[in-house]
């Protein structure tokens, strides 16, 4: 590859990863800011009216119902109309939803605002993984995907810090208005810097447009076998090679998001009831998400070496162990360390699951696969806050909630081990290629970094037929 093309490719990947990561930072912000302000809403009926713990859990779930709807819509249309259009539209939608929520004056309207915001969040989460998979170099997909999806816990850290610093100054309404900033900051930048996926254009038969985009962005397209029988989007997921893996991947995401949303929503309140002050409780939330960022990035590098599946199984086991330890009367330093590791095993694991899923499917089904993972998984995200609310309301939060979450992590680790290899013989998102296999249409060993045109000294685009 010529130096000029390589520079264009790196610049393109940088902007795709940066914009996607910042987008998901606001998703994480939306997730955690509600948990951070929930104790205030429960304690003071003057904000929206009297709210019981059970209602608090339900309000947390309304956003997740919206996420489910948004993810399924993105999966339906993303593989048909393209990744870029879905991302731009829903950046605007999400921002308007956050602004609407900040202006509500009743529990009912607040819940509606959470639902509308969730639609935009779901569409973005269900699209970003497909975008990154189609631009990232093969040998760095897990790491770049982890950087992008680490935007979610990074947003959680941001929400925790801003809630600690600004809640007394701007109140919960001001904190929600901060979440509306993408419409005036991120959206204009994305309109300029975010390209459409050349791989997606080629999969839709738009080869001339794919050629132009590939030349402009420096991305080299690779031939791809049609393992979906010509079907596009959700119908492709129902084909024989993908039906069973899709179910298992959905269950993994269900468990990961149940743990993620359950802990982010109720960890502050649980710690308050266990005798810690509100500032300490928000610190636990900060440590949970900070641990997820650091641990998730380290685990993603491991996943690029040995494959994502065994790493996901291992981190689920770590979650089970540390969550079972949290109810014990541990010294504060040990307790904080356990919360950080629990963050790796819950939120960090979900980051790895998105990487596994986005690299599991072919281009014509990738958007639907990621959207299914994000959408069906959000059902777990709905269950987590609801169960937490029921346990808090019953006075069982300190012990039973953590043991329940630990049991979910154990089951999830078992489900992870059942996921079969990809139908084309490649490993699932990283790791060594199958011995003796070849990249389709190239005659080269699977996973080889040398293109079919290596004899000529430069790679060849399968769309343009030109060398570097």
First CA to last CA distance, the chain: 5
What is the C-alpha to C-alpha distance for residues 259 and 31, in angstroms, rounded to an integer? 13
182 pLDDT higher than 80:
yes
C-alpha closest to that of 307 among 368, 254, 360: 360
Residue 397 is predicted with a pLDDT of: 56
State the CB neighbour count (10 A cutoff) for residue 240: 9
Q: Which of 55-64, 182-191, 212-221 has the lowest mean pLDDT?
A: 212-221
Residue 373 is predicted with a pLDDT of: 83
Reported residue count of the chain is 468
The whole-chain average pLDDT of the chain stands at: 79
Residue 131 is predicted with a pLDDT of: 83
Residue 428 is predicted with a pLDDT of: 46
The tens digit of pLDDT for each residue in 302-315 reads: 888 888 889 999 99
139 pLDDT higher than 80:
no
Q: Which of 106-115, 312-321, 395-404 has the lowest mean pLDDT?
A: 395-404
What is the C-alpha to C-alpha distance for residues 68 and 76, in angstroms, rounded to an integer? 12
Residue 305 is predicted with a pLDDT of: 85
277 pLDDT higher than 60:
yes
Q: Which of 9-13, 66-70, 77-81, 164-168 has the lowest mean pLDDT?
A: 77-81
Tokens of residue 268, six digits: 């502050």
The tens digit of pLDDT for each residue in 4-34 reads: 777 888 888 889 999 999 999 988 898 778 8
Residue 180 is predicted with a pLDDT of: 93
The tens digit of pLDDT for each residue in 248-265 reads: 999 999 999 899 888 877
Could you give the percent of the chain with pLDDT greater than 90? 20
The tens digit of pLDDT for each residue in 26-52 reads: 888 987 788 788 888 888 787 787 888
The tens digit of pLDDT for each residue in 406-419 reads: 999 999 999 999 99
Residue 330 is predicted with a pLDDT of: 79
Tokens of residue 170, six digits: 């701007």
Sort residue 432 into left (φ over 0), alpha (ψ -120 to 50) or beta.
beta
User: Which band of pLDDT confidence, cut at 50, 70 and 90, is reported for residue 222?
Assistant: low
What is the C-alpha to C-alpha distance for residues 315 and 284, in angstroms, rounded to an integer? 20
Domains annotated for the chain, with CATH where assigned, are 3-221+233-422 (1.20.1250.20)
Residue 433 is predicted with a pLDDT of: 38
């Amino acid at each position: 590859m010529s130096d000029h093309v390589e520079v264009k490719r790196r610049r393109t990947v940088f902007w795709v990863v940066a914009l996607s990561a910042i987008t998901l930072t606001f998703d994480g912000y939306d997730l955690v800011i509600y948990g951070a302000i929930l104790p205030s809403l429960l304690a003071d009926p003057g904000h929206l009216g009297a709210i019981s713990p059970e209602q608090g859990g339900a309000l947390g779930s309304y956003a997740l119902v919206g996420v489910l709807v948004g993810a399924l819509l993105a999966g339906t249309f993303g593989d048909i109309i393209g990744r870029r259009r879905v991302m731009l539209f829903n950046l605007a939608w999400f921002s308007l939803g956050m602004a609407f929520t900040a202006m509500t004056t009743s529990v009912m309207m607040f819940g509606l605002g959470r639902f509308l915001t969730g639609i935009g969040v779901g569409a973005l989460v269900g699209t970003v993984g497909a975008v990154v998979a189609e631009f990232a170099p093969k040998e760095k997909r897990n790491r770049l995907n982890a950087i992008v999806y680490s935007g979610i816990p990074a947003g959680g850290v941001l929400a925790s810090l801003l809630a600690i610093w600004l809640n007394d100054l701007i109140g919960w309404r001001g904190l929600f208005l901060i979440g509306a900033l993408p419409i005036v900051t991120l959206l204009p930048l994305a309109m300029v810097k975010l390209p459409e996926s050349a791989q997606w254009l080629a999969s839709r038969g738009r080869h001339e447009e794919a050629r132009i985009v590939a030349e402009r962005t420096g991305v080299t397209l690779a031939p791809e076998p049609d393992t979906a029988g010509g079907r596009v989007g959700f119908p492709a997921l129902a084909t024989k090679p993908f039906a069973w893996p899709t179910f298992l991947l959905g269950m993994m995401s269900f468990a990961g998001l149940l743990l993620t949303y359950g802990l982010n929503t109720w960890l502050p309140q649980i710690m308050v009831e266990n005798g810690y002050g509100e500032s300490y409780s928000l610190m636990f939330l900060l440590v949970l998400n900070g641990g997820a960022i650091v641990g998730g990035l380290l685990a993603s590098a491991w996943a690029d070496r040995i494959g994502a599946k065994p790493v996901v199984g291992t981190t689920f086991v770590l979650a089970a162990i540390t969550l079972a330890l949290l109810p014990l009367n541990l010294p504060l330093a040990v307790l904080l360390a356990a919360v950080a590791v629990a963050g790796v095993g819950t939120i960090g694991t979900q980051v790895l699951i998105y990487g596994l899923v986005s690299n599991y499917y072919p281009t014509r089904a990738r958007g639907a696969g990621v959207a299914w993972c994000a959408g069906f998984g959000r059902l777990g995200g709905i269950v987590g806050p609801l169960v937490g609310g029921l346990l808090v309301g019953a006075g069982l939060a300190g012990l039973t909630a953590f043991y329940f979450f630990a049991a979910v992590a154990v089951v999830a680790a078992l489900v992870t081990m059942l996921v079969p290899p990809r139908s084309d013989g490649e490993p699932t998102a990283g790791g060594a290629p199958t011995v003796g296999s070849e990249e389709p249409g190239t005659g080269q060993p699977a996973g080889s970094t040398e293109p079919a045109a290596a004899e000529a000294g430069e790679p060849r685009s399968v769309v343009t037929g030109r060398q570097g």
